[in-house]
Amino acid sequence: MASLSMSRLGLNLVLLLVVLGLAGLVGWQLQEREQQVQNARLLPLTLADLNSIVLERQDEGGMSQLALKRDGEQWFLVQPVLAETNSIKVRQLATVLDEKVEASYPRADKDLARYGLEPRQFMVSFNGRQLVFGNTNPVSNNRYILNGEQIQLVNETIYNLLTEDWVNFIALQLVPTAWRLTAVQLPAGFADSPQLVSAWQTAQAIRVEALDPQAISPDLQKVVLKTATESKELLILNLKDELVLADPAKQVVYVLPISQAAQLFPAKTGLETAPN
């Protein structure tokens, strides 16, 4: 009996060692697979890791820069103007971090101009780590990206974002996310309503455009948006086919659909009698 018990104990120990060995092997394989996935990406970063994004491009006038900074949960455009950023644009830019690197070559002794990487035209930096965007491969349609000392091929979808004007990165909402409006002051001729403050609090443009300084004149009417401690003015450029409001501080124009006129500019006797 003692011999049988010892045999069973030995067998159990062997089985335990086998199980531990298999568990270790599986863990090692998972770690290796995770490392391979990490190595197959452009940068070891995710959207949650980011605190700065800088877009640079070569224009006729030289190198222009668009800089985004994170403050808590909000992203802000800090160059060329200070404004809250469209969060959709940030998420779109970050998608390149998840794309798989299809091929990678050392840059040494390579003709960078052949890949569209010299002279540099479009660059994006995530947390200070720069990626230079070049041409697309004529066979795979993947894009050449200079990443440190490596030329990498990536199936990316953000190249068009690098060519967009800075105004396209401005948030569409007229009121900053952190603001809580307490009052809205409209020009004479418009009515007040219980829903006026909430309507302006949630108002969103369908597009944002750069402000033409020549569109500003002293006789323009304005809307004053107030919180308990702050206020801002929007100049009324048009209330006919569209609602067009200028924000001189941000150098932008917000364009809203005319369908929002009744909520944002309730007229006492109809919109047609209100100031244009």
What pLDDT, in 10s, does the model give residues 154-200? 999 999 999 999 999 999 999 999 999 999 999 998 988 889 999 99
Report percent pLDDT > 90 for the chain: 77
Q: Does the pLDDT at position 8 exceed 80?
A: no
Closest CA to 83 of 211, 244, 220: 211
pTM of the model: 0.79
- The Cα–Cα gap between 43 and 24 comes to 28
Position 209 scores a pLDDT of 97
pLDDT surpassing 80 at residue 108:
yes
